[in-house]
Amino acid sequence: MMNAAHQNAAILFADISGSTTLYDKLGNELALQIVSRTLGILTREMATQQGSLIKTIGDEIMCIFPNVTSAINAACAMQQAIEKQQPGGDLPIYVRIGVHYGEVVLEGSDVFGDTVNVAARVTAITRARQIMTTHTVVDMLSDELRKKARPVRRTVFRGKDSTIDVFQILWAQESTTSTRIGMAAFRKPAESRYELLLRYRQQVITLSERLKSVVLGRGDNCDLVIHNTLASRQLRKIPVLRSQLERHLHPLQR
C-alpha cells in the first residue's frame, strides 16, 4: 500500500441492534432519524475518550482508539448514554459493541488489517446491550477495568487456525443471566441455527455446528475449567452432534 502507516490501536465497532425492524415498523424517514440520533450519541461518547471515527457503515460505526482503556471506557459510556438518552423515545434502542487491539494499517482515512477483522467478528457474535472483547484487550486493562471482564466463550473465527477467548465487559449492574446471555431477540444472525450453552460459574462456552466439542477438567488448558479438586485434570473431549442439538434445543432467533 502506498503511503500506508502501521501502528498498534484499539478498533471498536458499535452496531444498532434490530435496525432493519425499525425501518419495517416506522418507515424510512422516522427510522433514519432514530438511527442518525443513535449514531450521533455513540460518536459523541467516542470523542470524549480520544477516539476517532473511521467510517459509518449503515447502522454501525467503526472507531479507532490509541489504547484499550480509552476503547473500553468509550464502549461503557456508549451503552450508558443510549440507555439514559433513549434516542428512540418510547421505542427501545439497543447497541452491541465489539473491541479488539493490535497492529493496524492506516491508509488515507481508512484502517485495515487482521485487528479490524477480528473486531468485526467479535461484534458479529455480540448480543444487544453487550460489550464483547478479546483476551488481548483484557490482558492490557487496569486491575479496576479487568474486574468488569467475564469470560464468555472460546470461539473459532473464519480464517483463524486457533480458538480465541472472548470476554464480556459488564457496564451496568444487572443480573448474572442477563449480562452474560444478552438479548437473543436482537442478536445478529448466527452461522448455526442451533446452540448449546455450557455454563460453570463465570465461564460460558457455546457449542454449535462450528464448535462441536469441548474439553472439561481442572487443568488450565481445558476449554471449561472446573475448580474442584475432585475433578479430573482433563476429561475426554465431549462431542455434540447436530442431530442432538436439533432434537433438544430451540432454534436461535434471528
Q: Please state whether beta strands 149-155 and 164-169 pair in parallel, antiparallel, or not at all (unpaired).
A: antiparallel
Identify which of 104-108, 171-175, 185-189, 192-196 has the greatest average pLDDT. Answer: 104-108
**pLDDT level of residue 231 (50, 70, 90 thresholds):** low
Per-residue pLDDT tens for 190-228?
444 445 666 666 566 666 555 556 677 777 667 667 776
**pLDDT level of residue 159 (50, 70, 90 thresholds):** low
Q: Across the beta sheet with 237-239, what order do the strands follow?
A: 224-225, 213-217, 237-239
Residue 30 has pLDDT above 80, yes or no: yes
Query: Which contiguous run of DSSP H or E holds residue 217?
Result: strand 213-217
Question: Model-level pTM greater than 0.75?
Answer: no
Beta strands in 41-186 (DSSP E): 52-57, 60-65, 95-107, 110-112, 131-134, 149-155, 164-169
Q: What mean pLDDT do residues 8-23 have?
A: 91
Residue 249 has pLDDT above 90, yes or no: no
Residue 236 has pLDDT above 60, yes or no: no
* Cβ-Cβ contacts under 8 Å for 53 (sequence gap 6 or more): 43, 46, 61, 62, 63
Q: What mean pLDDT do residues 124-137 have?
A: 94
Domains of the chain: 1-171 (3.30.70.1230), 190-254 (no CATH)
